[in-house]
Structure 1
Amino acid sequence: MNATRYGNEPAPPTQPGNGAMRKAEALRQGQAQVLEMITRDEPLCVTMALLMRLIEAQGDGMLCSLMLLEDDQQHVRSCAGPSLPPSYLALLDGLAIGPCAGSCGTAMYRRQPVVVADIMSSPLWAPYLDLVKPYGLRACWSTPIMLKDEQVLGSFAMYYREPRSPGPAELALTAVATHIAGIAIKREKNESELRRHREQLEALVQQRTGQLEASNAELTTALVQLQHTQRELVRTEKLASLGSLVAGVAHELNTPLGNAMLSAGSLVAHAQRIEAAVVQGVLKRSDLRQFLADIAQGGTLLTHNLARINTLIQHFKQLAVDQTTDLRSQFALHALVVRAVDAMSARADMAKHQVEVDIDPAIVMDSYPDALTEVLCNLLDNALMHGLPAGQAGTVRITTGIADGGNIRLALEDSGHGIADELLPRIFDPFFTTRLGQGTSGLGLYVTHNLVTGVLGGHINVESQVGHGTRFLIELPQTASRP
């Protein structure tokens, strides 16, 4: 039931300190709200405006402002002053700090609080009296906001419209305001610095990305050009090898062709001599017997040489088919190696060397004979060009064995002068040759390595010691994998 008062009955007394308690609670809650806004990265000036109102609510007639010191540490900028006229705050923007620059400019310059109880009589405000008179401001107390390293961030000021000096309550509120404002400004500066570094990093990343893209484009162009050049060199190497092979076969054909032509010419001469004897009527039985013997001998020589020519042509045709097609087929390894050796033996520089083939004729492979033939020809050519000593007889030995897993192990070994240890790791590199400028491009063993490891699906290694020859070891599946 509510109490009721009558007549002039005095009102019940209020509890002392209730207003101060309410203000203290409002200040506590307001501080929590401001700190929450700081952690949410709300705009600095919005947060500081709330802080100014919070401080102003703690006293009567108090007008608060917060100024920021620019990065040049020389000029000020207005951040918050919700109860001050906006036009007045605009007048403060860009002013320089100094020993006689009002309350705020002087406090930031001195790095210590400045209390001006009466603006109209203070020498610190003398240069600005005409500016401040229209706004009726009489007292201004300013405290610099600084970090621990004494870097000045800004200033907090209390204005009054009558002359007065601060008391303990105002000083306590100033300490609260400068502490919270320092946290907010420092966080804002840190965030601004992070944004600046982030932007610089993004710009740097974009610059580096552009440079990398340009470099990649240049490298791609260079790679395309290199691959084109490489294909051209490989094609040239193949054409040169084919030309050398044709020249060798032609050289080998010269001997049986010359013998065949000599035999044919001899037979024609014998026939003409017998024909003349018949016409003259002086043909004897003994002449006829001699003619038949000459015919038999000449026919035998002619048949032998023609057979040799036919064999060489068949071998050459087989090689030509293998090099210009990529057909997979079954073939006897021994026969393929012999054909390759016979074709290479037609070269003049093979005449003084001996090639030994020790391969089981029963080994049948299901693979790519063209690729394997080219591998053998390249290895034989390498032995002739680089392995076997010039002017001396040498030996090349080709053998086979069974490796782990049932693969065919093919070995080609020469009795040449060997390869230096420092050159062994590079012999399969493209364009590597020890006879640069002497008609070789350094692609023979590179092509060989690619054929063995690519088309034939195998492995190739080399063993060599200076003065003790070179041995190439090739391991191939007896049945090549399907592409």
Structure 2
Amino acid sequence: MECFICRRGLMNSHDSIIAGICGNPGVALEVSDRDGKLVFFNEAYRGLLGLTREELLSRDVFGLCHELDRDMERQRRAAVLADDNLQQSVQQSAMRRMFNRDGRLVWAEVTYVAVDGQQGETLLVATLRDITRERRERLLEQGRNRVLELLYQGVALEKICTEIVASIEGLGEGMLCSILRLDAKQGTLHRLAAPSLPQEYNQAIEGMAIGDGVGSCGTAAFRNERVIVSDLLDHPYWHRARRLAERSGLRACWSEPIVDAEGKVLGTFALYYRQPREPEAADLDLIHAVAALTALVISHCRAAEQLRAADQAKDDFISVAAHELRTPLATILGFSELLLNKNDFGPFSGEERDEFLEEINAKGEMLARLVDELLDVSRLQRNEPLPIKAEPGSLHAAVMSVVEQFHRQYPSCRIEMPAESAFPESISFDRVRIAQVIQNLLSNAVKYSPAEVEVKMDVWLDEQQVVIAVSDRGVGMSREQLAQMFDKYYRADNANTAPSGLGMGLHIARHIVESHGGEISATSAPGQGTRVEFSLPRQQQA
């Protein structure tokens, strides 16, 4: 069948170009008169916009353009048509935004050329190439590069997420985005970025508890799966928030969980629209890609924050270690100087000299424990196991040696002990290491308790294990402090206490207990004291 252009005799100086167009069914062809009225188009053009022949013929070129592009389209056409010598007219290329039948934005690269018809009319021939996907992929790549640049610069998480949202919203008309982070402990969602959503809507969903059927994002985070709601006003997930959606002018929401490399949900990425809308395959690919990028960002920022916190903790640890070593050392040097210069400071009675020597010995033991703790810290930093030498022995004797030492150091300290019969007759354990655990638990109990308040130790047995618990009636700890209690370098700094120590005692104690095959845990509440208990297996009995 002879094509329209050939039939109308429009193949003048551009015959090779136009012939190529006519012979290529994959190229969208648009022919219009000076006023923009369509006089011909091919099947590829209809497919580009999804409109029928009648619908296209009832419109002009400007009506098919995005309203913001119409003036520019008129200027381009006028420039091409202003050329007096159409035989020498050159092609002009430009970008044009158009809407298809479903209201989706189509980006096209357009090339114009003016031609003369046999009847003297001037027509504008345009070829259009759909670059919507190509443009999206290019902008996504630019967005990813920008995000990586911001990560490298150490920009705050919220700012990077806002940059992600801005780049995605720039891809298509009417696209509104949100990035929410999940507080896993509370099971609630919190805004990281949603600059284009109405303020009322953002405020209403802030801190929303996740759950099955709780909106698109609440359900996506709860199920760890994509949730597509094409019409918010006609979906059970949005029943309780329907009025909020209506007031906010939102009609569709597609939510993708943000998941880290280990499969843990970090939050959600969502696309909103102001009209009911079903996603296409490219839309699903988009939200998946953005969620994956956001997961990388959140994971990186959290890791960077943890690294900064670890570095700060190390700096604090060095400062504390220096102080803790200096304190007993000052005592040793002070009393030894008195004894060495007895002619200047003495004479001292035998009882006084014994007191000086006992103090020097006590502080020497404290220094030895601190040095041992520092060595343990070094091993744990290198991920080396603590040396454990388990031998059959009396657990009661090991515990009592620590308690007696405490009574010498803290004469006013009261420790309620169970009867010797509560302990197993013999068990295989590292006497030095378990004494180190007991020493740490008693030290913390005394440290965080009021003067002369009794500390209690309990022991009980079953067929598999022996459990030792140390309880105090001190200041206690909050839930947040309790969660960090066994962490490296952690020191619970309560307002009513002046804690000492390296902040590694309980961390080391946990490794010692676990190396024996046992477990250690704690319970506490502010103002109600703290209870720490650990278990040792009885299977290794002698």
- Of structures 1 and 2, the larger Rg is shown by 1
Range class of TM-score, shorter chain: 0.3 to 0.5
* TM-score normalised by the chain length of structure 1: 0.45
Which structure dedicates a bigger proportion of its chain to helix? 1
> Of the two structures, which has the highest relative contact order with CA contacts closer than 8 Å and spacing of 6 or more?
1
Which structure dedicates a bigger proportion of its chain to strand? 2
* TM-score normalised by the chain length of structure 2: 0.41
